[in-house]
Amino acid sequence: MAVESRTPVAEGSGVHACWVESRATLGFTASAILIHHPTGGSILIDAGNSSNFDAEIEPYEGQTKRWLATFPAALAPKLPLDELLRELGVDPASLTAVVPTHAHLDHIGGILDLPEPPVWVSEEEAALIERGREAVIEEVMPAHAEAVAGLIEPLRFVDEPYEIFDRHADLFGDGSVVVVPMPGHTPGSVGVFVTLPDHRRVFHVGDAVNERAQVRKLRGKTLAMKRTDSDRVAANVNVGRLHALAEALPELAILPAHERAAWVDAFGEPTSSCPAG
């Protein structure tokens, strides 16, 4: 089943959104947004790392393995994602889908700890995952590519503008959760707008930037983090677009995937309970 998109509608929504944190260290976080929609079920935006992290990086060597064993390893989960969800009062089998912002290990790895949910990604990211099945590539862990490939249901974007973006996919048809293409960090990276019942809006930008200061000051990532971008020119374009968006919508909470302070500002603290209903 492909994910159809419809024209966004509204301010405000009936969704309930919770911050699910799998690990935090030194101001960084590996987190997901758990969204309960009144008619569309429950979805996760991102999934963090897999609980089998150490084994999954074994195919790599040299500089790549050293990199994976440092920063990404520091965000390995405290608990497998299915156990974490159960602690929050959520049955992992009840998830409608997982919507990763992109296919890097610390965004799709946790899917392997779930009971095979549908995975909604762009066609470009699906192609990247398929490449990861065919060869050992840095962007997608072989174990992740193999496990996720059969779960993919492609996002379908309509060629209609949403905010500053030319295309969008309105997941539930009511404007509560809207996905936009943001290629650069990976070929099929996406950002996700979430509109809450109190009219607050959060824009999860994945790894388009590492911290909000990069948006505010209109500067790119540090050299160490630029190495993770597949297209540095497109990645820099995203920074400029986010800067323009932040100036036009100062009330919008821009949420880089790993800046813990941004998550605190948007959600307060990680949730201790997030049952549907």
Does the pLDDT of residue 193 top 70, yes or no? yes
Q: What is the dihedral of CA 30, 254, 5, 131, to 10 degrees?
A: -40
CA distance 55 to 87: 25
- Domain annotation covers residue 211: yes
Residue pLDDT, tens place only, 41-96: 999 999 999 999 999 999 999 999 999 999 899 999 999 999 999 999 999 999 99
Among the listed residues 1, 33, 11, 12, the one whose alpha carbon sits nearest the alpha carbon of residue 255: 33
- Domain annotation covers residue 125: yes
pLDDT for 276 equals 77
- Domain annotation covers residue 10: no
Mean pLDDT of 185-196: 97
Which residue did the predictor score with more confidence, 2 or 108?
108
For the chain, the average pLDDT equals 93
In angstroms and rounded to an integer, the radius of gyration of the C-alpha atoms of the chain is 17
- Domain annotation covers residue 274: no
pLDDT for 7 equals 33
Mean pLDDT of 105-130: 98
pLDDT for 255 equals 98
Indicate the DSSP class of residue 173: S
> What is the extent of the structural domain holding 185?
16-267
pLDDT for 271 equals 87
Distances, alpha carbon 234 to alpha carbons 122, 215, 216, 221, 241, in Å? 17, 15, 18, 13, 11
Burial class (CB in 10 A: 0-12, 13-18, 19+), 242: buried
Among the listed residues 15, 32, 36, 18, the one whose alpha carbon sits nearest the alpha carbon of residue 94: 36
Distance between alpha carbon 269 and the CA centroid of its chain, in Å? 18
- Domain annotation covers residue 1: no
The overall longest dimension of the chain from CA atoms, in Å, is 50
- Domain annotation covers residue 5: no
- Domain annotation covers residue 7: no
Query: Which CATH number covers residue 199?
Result: 3.60.15.10
Helices (H), 135-192: 142-149
Q: What is the dihedral of CA 17, 87, 268, 164, to 10 degrees?
A: -30
pLDDT for 1 equals 38
Mean pLDDT of 174-193: 98
CA distance 138 to 22: 23
Domain count across the chain: 1
CA distance 264 to 235: 25
- Domain annotation covers residue 275: no
Element (H, E) at 45: strand 41-45
Among the listed residues 183, 175, 188, 168, the one whose alpha carbon sits nearest the alpha carbon of residue 121: 188
